[in-house]
Amino acid sequence: MLGLVLFSSDSYGQYDSGQKTATSALLTVTIRLVDSETNEPVSAGKLTITDAQSQQMLTPVIDSLDQRFTLSVAAGTALDFLAAAPGYVSTRAHLSSLNAPRQITLKLLRLKPSVLTIKVFSMTIRQPLTSAVVVITSRITGKSERFDLPSGRLEQMFAVPDELAIQISAAGYTSVTRHLTIDVPPSGKLYELDTQLDKLMLGLTVRVVDNQTGKSISAVQMTLTGKNGTPTVPLKTDPATGLSTADVPGRGTYQLMATAAGYENFSRSLLLEKEQNDMLVTLIAKPAVVDTKSAAVSETIARSVATKPFGVIEKGKTIRLNKIYFDQSSPVLRPASYAELDQLVGVLVQSPSLRIEIRGYTDNQGDFDLNTKLSRDRCQAVIEYLIAKGVHKSRLKAIGRGPLDPVAPNNNEDNRRKNRRVEFVAF
């Protein structure tokens, strides 16, 4: 390899040369372009040959089949070579002086793409997230492409440099965005992006109120239970605000349970989907329990009252008002109710020590809270009628129990009609 120097902007080329005996004043040089790894001829290769002294460009004879370039020049000529081909690194070579025929092989280095490998894991279990989704946006072209990662892994190749914004997400997990600059040197470059995603925590805020007064109840115990195997989530109550809060591990259906002294237990299924979920819980006060054995019961209160329209009225005995009517889904009393209510007014006037609790009920159709409010409002409408007729409000109490305590299964309209009722109890 006499007098031949190869060079390029990225790496030095490689060459082979052979020497033959000179047979004339003009010497022949033959150049082949081959792949540096396979030694196979490089298709569509181009070779530029320049006289190093005069800078004159010389035109070789081309054998396109074998990618051979042949040129005859005077002895002692210095030559510069520039070899190029699509998908290869351009290579330069210099022959300082041609003193004999030469066969030269220029080996071209194939361009390799850069490779980006993205792996997505759960931070809690260090397992690949099979629900992961990656969106790659080129900040140069503005083009975005979405990829589903069933194995939690993505591999992408880049033939040209790029500036990337990479958004990584998975169902039930927080999302992250990463920025990455991709370089593409001749030999390519490997990029690895390992991403850990946190479980998505949803916020839950619950306010618990009394169904009669609407005032907050702070002395309440609440728990939230998810699917089988999911740990119970406790709710913490702030005494200053009366609000209970919890961080919930992901979207889904949960069972909320609340208990407080003096109130019916509460349980409801919740579908939590938003990042912040607010809920109002209405607790129903338990009915007053009359202790018939207690000596502290006021002697001024009659133990029983015999009446014509309602029979014997006793403490704790439930008596149904059969002819009380309201407008549809409304607390407005219909005039057809007045006759029976006037009979009740007469009983209360005749028995001034008698105090009663009006209880209202609905069927189980519709929203629980709305039904409870409707039953309470209807009881209040009855009480307001009695007060307007001269009964003192201290002798009256309203309890709306909504769909609780049904007297028949809510499986048909007749039974549901039975459950929509107004009763009173002496206390």
pLDDT in tens, 262-303: 898 888 888 888 888 998 998 988 876 545 444 444 444 446
Q: Which of 4-13, 199-208, 250-259, 404-413 is predicted with the least confidence, judged by mean pLDDT?
A: 4-13
Confidence category of residue 326, pLDDT binned at 50, 70, 90 = very high
Q: Which CATH number fits domain 201-283: 2.60.40.10, 3.40.50.1980, 2.30.40.10, 2.40.30.10?
A: 2.60.40.10
Distance (Å, whole) CA 353 – CA 391: 11
Q: Which of 61-70, 84-93, 370-379, 412-421 is predicted with the least confidence, judged by mean pLDDT?
A: 61-70
3-state secondary structure of 375: helix
Equal CATH topology for 114-197 and 304-426: no
Sheet containing 162-170: order of strands = 144-149, 132-138, 162-170, 176-182
In sequence order, the 6+-apart residues with CB closer than 8 A to the CB of 384 are none
pLDDT of residue 319: 93
Q: Could you tell me which residue, 237 or 149, shows the higher pLDDT?
A: 149
pTM of the model: 0.43
Region for residue 334 given its phi and psi (left: phi exceeds 0; alpha: psi -120 to 50; beta: otherwise): beta
Q: How is domain 4-108 classified at the architecture level of CATH?
A: Sandwich (2.60)
For range 19-38, the mean pLDDT: 78
Return the bridge partners of 252, or none: 272
- Across all residues in the chain, what is the average pLDDT? 86
3-state secondary structure of 234: strand
In sequence order, the 6+-apart residues with CB closer than 8 A to the CB of 302 are 351, 353, 354
| pLDDT of 1 over the 70 cut | no
Region for residue 394 given its phi and psi (left: phi exceeds 0; alpha: psi -120 to 50; beta: otherwise): alpha
Distance (Å, whole) CA 259 – CA 261: 7
Domain residue extents for the chain: 4-108, 114-197, 201-283, 304-426
**Which two structure tokens, joined as six digits, stand for 369?**
């809270």
pLDDT of residue 228: 63
| pLDDT of 11 over the 50 cut | no
- If one counts every other C-beta atom within 10 angstroms of the C-beta of residue 341, the result is 18
pLDDT of residue 6: 45
pLDDT of residue 229: 55
The verdict on domain 304-426 having CATH code 3.30.565.10 is: no
Q: Could you tell me which residue, 335 or 7, shows the higher pLDDT?
A: 335
| Element holding 263 (H helix, E strand) | none
> Tokens 């607010």 correspond to what residue?
278
pLDDT of residue 270: 85
pLDDT tens, residue by residue, 112-125: 999 999 999 988 77
| pLDDT of 16 over the 50 cut | no
Tell the CATH topology of 114-197.
Answer: Immunoglobulin-like (2.60.40)
Confidence category of residue 305, pLDDT binned at 50, 70, 90 = confident
Confidence category of residue 10, pLDDT binned at 50, 70, 90 = very low
- Tell me which residue of 229, 169, 167, 234 sits closest to 206, measured CA to CA: 234
pLDDT of residue 323: 93
pLDDT of residue 303: 61
